[in-house]
Structures are given as C-alpha cells and as structure tokens.
Amino acid sequence: MNGFIAKTELIAKVTKVDEKNMTEVTQSSSDPSLNYEDPYTESAFKIEKIYRDTKSKFQKNDEVIVEEFAGYTENKLTGQRTIYTPEDYELTQKGYSYLIGARESQSSPEKHVLIGHIFGKYSLEFTDAKKAESHMHGDVLKE
C-alpha cells in the first residue's frame, strides 16, 4: 500500500456524478489512409473526503475529472456500441462511491488518471468498504 500512496497526488473518497464517452482518433503511421479510434471515459466525481492532496488543488465538494481507460465506439450505421476495457478493469458507475488514488494527466493537466488503472480505485459499495476506507486513512496518516 505504501508504494501506491507515494505515487499518488490525490487520495479521496468520491461519488461518480457524470461521465462522457470520448474517442481519440489516431492516424496509422504505416498507412495514412487508416485511422484508429481509442475510446476512453471522462468521469466526473464529487469529492466527499480528502486523504491526500499533494498539490492542494481540491476541497470537499469539488469535482475531479478522471480519464478512465475504458470506453465505447458506436457503429454509425447500426448504432451498436462496442465497449473496450483493459483486462480486469471495470468502468466506475454513476451514483457509486469510490476510494480513488490519482495523479494529474500528463496530456491534460486539468484532468487526472487513476494510479495503476485497476488498483487506483476501490468501490465503497460493498461490506468491506468501511474497513478499506479506515485502512487507507490509517496508512495516509502514517506517512
């Protein structure tokens, strides 16, 4: 847990309030006539409690935008959506609370990315939620 905390600029208890599917289009370097779509999701979270904020950017009730590396593309003819996610990653859900560890995005400093993708969020919707939050709070205080 300590390595996770050391690399994390923001550790907070948050609730997801909104999301926007985004697609970055990249041109093929070997064939300029080909384009690739890389979908991702911009998730907006309301901050409920801050455990660490190394850059002192946030306060309780602020909103933090997190780029999640999961998203979908939509076939313009059929309307069918195809979801793309890294292995073992689950997109966060609107209305759910999470404990997140994030850092500023290198490409968009006003946005954040989760540390370790899968390991940068922990759902607080289950029975062990209070235990996890308490454990995180204890580790942060030891730092």
Average pLDDT over residues 18-42: 86
So what's the pLDDT on residue 31? 87
Percent of the chain whose predicted confidence (pLDDT) is above 90: 36
pTM: 0.78
So what's the pLDDT on residue 96? 95
Average pLDDT over residues 7-16: 92
So what's the pLDDT on residue 23? 81
The span from the CA of 8 to the CA of 85, in Å, is 22
So what's the pLDDT on residue 142? 46
Q: Which range marks the domain in which residue 68 is found?
A: 2-142
List, as one string, the DSSP characters of 54-68: TT----TT-EEEEEE
Total domains in the chain come to 1
132: domain CATH number?
2.40.50.120
Please name the amino acid found at residue 59.
Answer: Q
